[in-house]
Structure 1
Amino acid sequence: MTELVIQNETGRLDKVVSQLMPEISRSKLQHWIKSGDVLVNGKMEKSKYDVQPGDKISLIEPDPVALDLVPQDIPLDIVYEDDDVIVVNKPQGMVVHPSPGHPDGTLVNALLFHSPLSTINGAFRPGIVHRIDKDTSGLLMVAKNDKAHQSLAAQLKAKTNVREYIALVHQPIKEESGIIKAPLGRSPRDRMKQAVVEDGRPAVTHFKVEKNYENYSLIKCQLETGRTHQIRVHMQYIGHPVVGDPLYGPRKTIKGRGQFLHAAKLGFKHPTTGEELIFEVPIPPIFKSTLDYLDKTNSI
C-alpha cells in the first residue's frame, strides 16, 4: 500500500494522484478509485473529490491479472543486442505486448522466445520500457534485466533519450518547423481515443518539415514527452493528421497501406557502460514506395 500526505496540492482526486504518481495512468487511477482501492482519510471518495492540504490518500494497487505469456518463434528484426538491452525494429501491424484483445503473436511473445526479459513490469509487459502503436513501425529498446530497465526508464523520465519519427501527414505545412504543446488525456467523446484536454498530462512534440507535396507533408517529429498516441493526436490537433491513421485520420486517405508513422531514430545511454548509443532504421518499403509515387505525381 502507498500512502500520500497532501502538502500544497489541490484539485480532483484522480488528477492530484496522477500528478504525484505519473507512472500510473489516470484512467487506471479512476478505475481504482471507483473500485475502492484509493481511500481518502480512510474513506472511499469519487474521482471528482476536491483534495485539500492535509488529506491522507491510501492507494492499494490491485494484484495484476496474470496473462499466459507463451514464447513464440516469431521472426525479429534485431538492430542491436547485448547482455542488458535489445533494440528491435518492430514491423507495422505488430502489437507490442499481450492484452485482452491480443493474447499472443505480439512482440513480447517473440522476445520471450529469444531471450529472458526484465521482470519490473510483471506478467503484462516484461522488458518493455516504452511502446509504439500497433500500426507504427520502428525502433524500440527492450530491457533484458531489471537493472537495465531501471536505467532506461529513468532516462525516459528525465527526457534524455532521442526519439525521432518520420510521418506523412495530410496537407502541406507552411511553417518549416514548430512545437506543439497541448495536454493529452482520454477523449470525453470516445474512450478508444486520446484528445487534447484541458486537464490532460503535459505533452510536447517538435516537428520539422522535410518536404511538402500538393496534398501532403513529410515531417520529422521529436518527442519531448511520450504520451499515448501523442504524435497522432497532436498532428490532428493542428489540422495535419497522419496519413492512414485509422483513429484520427480523415475518411479520405491513402487506403490499404497502413499508418505512415515510423520510429526512425532512437538514442540512449547504455545502462552499464554509459556509452551514448544511437540507432537509425530506414522507413519500411511500403512507406518508401508511397513517397516515390508522390514524388512523381504529387510534387509541388
Structure 2
Amino acid sequence: MSKVEHNVTDNQAGDRIDKVLANLNAEWSRTQVQEWIKAGHVLVNGNKVKTNYKVVNEDHLDIIIPDPEPLDVVAEDMDLDIYYEDSDVLVVNKPRGMVVHPAVGHGTGTLVNGLLAHCKDLSGINGVMRPGIVHRIDKDTSGLLMVAKNDLAHEKLVEQLVNKTVTRKYKAIVHGVVNHDHGTIDAPIGRDTKDRQSMTVVDGGKHAVTHFNVIDRFKDFTLIECQLETGRTHQIRVHMKYIGFPLAGDPKYGPRKTLEFGGQVLHAGVLGFNHPRTDEYLEFTAPLPADFKQLIAMLKK
C-alpha cells in the first residue's frame, strides 16, 4: 500500500470528496476513488466518510492506495520502439493501432503486454491492468509515452502532469483551413450525456486547455501542432471539433466524410519531463510515421 496526503484548499471547499480526489490525480477515475472511499481507504481528519461528503477548507485527507492484485496479464514479446530507459522510467514510441492497456475486447497485443515482457519492474500504482502507465494516448494515436518502473517514479511523474510541467506536443491534420496562425482553446471537458462513450465541452466539466500553431495549409485541410496544458480524455479531438476544425480520419468526433486513415490523424511527437530521481529535464522527439508523411504529401498535391 502507498499513502497520499492532501489538505483541502479554499477553491476545493464545498466540493464532493470524490470530485476533489479525482481532480488530484489525472489517473484516478471518479469510480475508482468512490470504491476507495466505500472501502475505508480515504480518511477525512482521521474519519471515514461517504462518497457525497462535501469537503471543508483545511480538511486533512489521507488516501491509502491499495496494493495491486496479482497481475493476470500475459507478457508478450514485441519489437517495442524504446527511446529511453533507465531503472526509473522508460519512454516508448507507440504505433498507431496499438491499445495502451488491456480492457474488454483487448486482452492481448497491448502496450502493457509488451512492456511486461520487456521489463519486470513496472510501477503497480495503477493496478493490474495498467502497470507503469502514467498517462495514455488513444489506440489510433501514435507517439511517445512515459512509463514508470517503480512507485516513486510514478508519483513524481503524475505530480508533474498535475502541475502541468510536462511538455506534450502533437501534430494533427484537421478539416478546414484554419485562418489564425496560433490560438488557445480553454473549454471544460466532460462526458457527453447523450453518448457516455464520448467526451464533449460541457459546463461543469474538467478544466482543459489546448494551444495550437498552424504548420501548413492545404486546400481543405490544415496541419497543426497542439501543445497540451492539461490532459483530458480525447482533449485535442474534442477541442478541435469544438472550434469547428475536427481531426481528419476521426470516426468519433469527425464528419462522416473524412480521409481514409483508419483513425484520427494525430501523433504525439514531443514529450519532455523532469527525471523523477535526478530532476534533469529530458525531452524526446519522435518523427511522423510514414503513413502520416504520405498523407501530407498527398494533400500538398
Q: Is the 8 A contact 1:66 1:124 kept in 2?
A: no
Pair 1:209–1:61, CA change in 2 (3 A): same
Q: Which amino acid aligns with 1:80?
A: Y
1:292 and 2:297 correspond: yes
Counterparts of 1:16-55 in structure 2 under 5 Å? 16=20, 18-19=22-23, 24-28=28-32, 51=54, 53=56
* Counterpart-to-counterpart distance in 1, 2:168 and 2:84: 16
Shift of 1:184: 0.8
1:204 and 2:214 correspond: no
Counterparts of 1:50-89 in structure 2 under 5 Å? 51=54, 53=56, 68-89=72-93
- Superposed CA RMSD: 3.1
Shift of 1:157: 1.7
**Aligned partner (choices 112, 120, 132) of residue 108 of structure 1:** 112
Shift of 1:156: 1.4
Q: Please give the secondary structure, in 2, of the residue aligned with 1:138.
A: strand
Q: Which amino acid aligns with 1:110?
A: G
Which position in structure 1 is the counterpart of 2:171? Answer: 166
Which position in structure 2 is the counterpart of 1:248? Answer: 253
1:126 and 2:93 correspond: no
Which position in structure 2 is the counterpart of 1:265? Answer: 270
Pair 1:35–1:193, CA change in 2 (3 A): farther
Q: Please give the secondary structure, in 2, of the residue aligned with 1:249.
A: coil
* Counterpart-to-counterpart distance in 2, 1:73 and 1:253: 35
Shift of 1:67: 5.9
Q: Please give the secondary structure, in 2, of the residue aligned with 1:222.
A: strand
Shift of 1:147: 2.3
Equivalent pairs counted in the alignment come to 293
Superposed CA offset, 1:17-43 (max 9, x none): 545666532354578889999999978
Which position in structure 1 is the counterpart of 2:219? Answer: 214
Q: Is the 8 A contact 2:73 2:128 kept in 1?
A: yes
TM-score (norm 2): 0.84
* Counterpart-to-counterpart distance in 2, 1:205 and 1:183: 11
1:226 and 2:231 correspond: yes
Gaps spanning 5+ residues in structure 1: where?
A: none
Q: Please give the secondary structure, in 1, of the residue aligned with 2:216.
A: strand
Q: Which amino acid aligns with 1:184?
A: I
1:176 and 2:192 correspond: no
Q: Is the 8 A contact 1:27 1:186 kept in 2?
A: no
Which position in structure 1 is the counterpart of 2:96? Answer: 92
* Counterpart-to-counterpart distance in 1, 2:66 and 2:123: 21
Shift of 1:255: 1.6
Gaps spanning 5+ residues in structure 2: where?
A: none
Shift of 1:57: 9.6
Pair 1:64–1:81, CA change in 2 (3 A): closer
Q: Is the 8 A contact 2:68 2:125 kept in 1?
A: no
Runs of 4+ residues over 3 Å off in structure 1: 1-8, 11-23, 26-45, 51-67
Q: Is the 8 A contact 1:38 1:44 kept in 2?
A: no
Q: Please give the secondary structure, in 2, of the residue aligned with 1:165.
A: strand
TM-score (norm 1): 0.84
* Counterpart-to-counterpart distance in 1, 2:207 and 2:40: 27
* Counterpart-to-counterpart distance in 2, 1:76 and 1:258: 21
**Aligned partner (choices 144, 149, 164) of residue 149 of structure 2:** 144
Pair 1:198–1:73, CA change in 2 (3 A): same
Superposed CA offset, 1:207-236 (max 9, x none): 001111111110000010011111010011
Shift of 1:268: 1.1
